[in-house]
Amino acid sequence: MSAVLNNSSALSGRTALVTGASSGIGWESARLLGELGATVLVHARTAEEGERAVDRLVREAGLDAGRLHAFAADFTQLAEVARLAEQVATAFPSLDLLVNNAAVMAPERCTLSADGNEVSFQVNFLAAHLLAKLLRAPLAAAGEARIVNVSSSLHRTASMNWNDPNRTKKYSRVAAYAQSQLALTMATGDMAPEGSGFTAVSVNPGLCDTALLPLYGRVGAPPAEGAAAVVRLCLPEVRLTNGAYYDGGDIAPTAPAAQEERSQRRLAKLTDLLVTRG
No. of helices (H) and no. of strands (E), the chain: 10, 8
Mean pLDDT of 199-220: 66
pLDDT confidence of residue 224: 86
pLDDT confidence of residue 215: 54
Grouping H, G, I as helix, E, B as strand and the rest as coil, residue 197 is coil
Dihedral over Cα of 57, 61, 65, 68: its sign: negative
pLDDT tens by residue, 130-142: 999 999 999 999 9
pLDDT band at 207 (very low <50, low <70, confident <90, very high): low
Domain that holds residue 120: 2-277
Q: How many domains, the chain?
A: 1
pLDDT band at 156 (very low <50, low <70, confident <90, very high): confident
pLDDT confidence of residue 212: 53
pLDDT band at 225 (very low <50, low <70, confident <90, very high): confident
Nearest to 125 by CA among 17, 246, 270: 270
pLDDT confidence of residue 6: 63
CB 186 within 8 A of CB 257: yes
CATH number of the domain bearing residue 8: 3.40.50.720
Mean pLDDT of 28-42: 97
pLDDT confidence of residue 82: 98
pLDDT confidence of residue 278: 53
pLDDT band at 208 (very low <50, low <70, confident <90, very high): very low
